[in-house]
Amino acid sequence: MKLQRKNRLRALTLGAVAVSGALALTACGSDDNGGGSKASGNSSSAANASSIKCDGAKGQLLSDGSSAQKNAIDAWVKNFSQACGVQINYKAGGSGAGVTSFTQGQIPWAGSDSALKPEEVAASKKVCNGGQGIDLPMVGGPIAIGYNLNGVDNLVLDAPTLAKIFDGKITNWNDQVIKKLNPSAKLPDLKIQAFHRSDDSGTTDNFTKYLIATAPNDWKYSGGKTWQAKGGQSAAQSSGVAQQVKQTNGAIGYFELSYVGDGIKPVSIDTGAAQPVAPSTESATKAIADAKVVGTGSDLSLKLNYNTKADGAYPITLVTYEIACDKGNKADTLPTVKSFLNYMASEDGQKLLSGIDYAPMPDAIISKVRSTIATLS
């Protein structure tokens, strides 16, 4: 009897191992790169994992860049790692840090909320053997202007007012300019504490591009990843700015929509449309759909219309680019980079975004991204 019981237990154990091994192989063996069930930031369904095409992905993958897309990357990494057994470490140290690490050959792929500048493309040619760095638009979303002001649940601002607030020209919440835009709000006699990014940031670049385009008389700076206006207070990365706003009554700052909530309220923007527009994935997608591809060759950098007055289009949007070599990628990381980028651009990967406060790329743009990823070598 004892011998029979041992044999029976051994058979059950071997059967369990075989089933788990088959499941693991199925997760990495599917050739379907789209469709399937919707992924979310909170869970990874078996159907989503099985839709990921691993294509030789293995080992570890290091990257750095935009903190704006960190929540999206985290959700993608969770699904991809489950399917392919790859460890991905995305540092999210900011767009400037990511581009620098990429052009210095420290990482095979980076995230940036701004397209590569000519000098950055030139630098990338030293690490992309026979090629250069290209921009692949992957993640969209609104740059929310978040505020913390006790007793004020709805706040409307326009571009000139935002420019004056972040340039230290409007310093109190009960200023007549703000009152005029919010006639029914009980605005307190309280100092405005404006927070901006301390690190080089594509979020800063896009926010200031909006101010330059829509309030040129009130925003006299040239723009770029580095904050140029005097005054105000600074914090590192989007999470740092959001944390400062959250804990400071009278504070205002700029960051991605995913950081709004839990003590932070979003500003609605008076664009000149019929109604002020609040940030949302839908209102951001409306604005991004009006963008034009201005990159050449394999580069898919976009020009956004920050001055839109279309009803329901939120004007302060950004697009995060994944930056990789078009040619000359290192052989040991190319399969993993391509596989992960393919998942991000896939139907499932893009569906995931709207559930975590990001905007999927419009079909006309993401289809070009998928075709370009297939040519990376």
Query: How does pLDDT run along the chain (377 residues), one tens digit per residue?
Result: 434 444 443 443 333 333 333 323 223 332 333 333 233 444 444 445 557 999 999 999 999 999 889 999 999 999 999 999 999 999 999 999 999 999 999 999 999 999 999 999 999 999 999 999 999 999 998 999 999 999 999 999 999 999 999 999 999 999 999 999 999 999 999 999 999 999 988 889 999 999 999 999 999 999 999 999 999 999 999 999 999 999 999 999 999 898 999 899 999 999 999 999 999 999 998 889 888 999 999 999 999 999 999 899 999 998 999 999 999 999 999 999 999 999 999 999 999 998 898 999 989 899 999 999 999 99
Under the phi-then-psi rule, with left for phi > 0, alpha for psi from -120 to 50, and beta for the rest, what region is 269?
Answer: beta
Beta bridge partner(s), residue 62:
89
Q: What are phi and psi of 265, to 5 degrees?
A: -110, 150
Specify the DSSP class assigned to residue 215: -
Give the number of C-alpha atoms closer than 13 A to the C-alpha of residue 356, restricted to the C-beta side: 21
Q: What are phi and psi of 66, to 5 degrees?
A: -45, 125
pLDDT for 172 equals 98
Record the tokens describing residue 216, joined without a space: 């040129």
Distance CA 33, CA 38 (A): 13
Residue with tokens 């990628």: 329
Specify the DSSP class assigned to residue 39: P
The DSSP secondary structure of 256-325, one letter per residue, reads EGGG--SS-EEPEE--SSSS-B---HHHHHHHHTT-EE---TT---EE--TT---TT--S-EEEEEEEEE
Three-state secondary structure call for residue 116: coil
pLDDT for 20 equals 34
Strands 302-303 and 317-325: what pairing?
unpaired
Helices (H), the chain: 2-29, 46-50, 70-84, 95-103, 118-124, 159-166, 176-181, 202-214, 237-246, 281-288, 334-345, 347-354, 363-373
pLDDT for 322 equals 98
Distance CA 33, CA 1 (A): 51
Among 340, 333, 334, 347, which residue's Cα sits nearest to residue 32? Answer: 347
Whether 185 contacts 297, CB under 8 Å: no
pLDDT for 49 equals 59
Q: Which helix (H) or strand (E) holds 61?
A: strand 60-65
Helix 202-214 to helix 159-166 angle, to the nearest 10 degrees? 130
Strands 265-266 and 109-112: what pairing?
unpaired
Under the phi-then-psi rule, with left for phi > 0, alpha for psi from -120 to 50, and beta for the rest, what region is 114?
Answer: beta
Q: What are phi and psi of 37, to 5 degrees?
A: -80, 160
Task: Count CB neighbours of 301 within 10 A.
Answer: 18
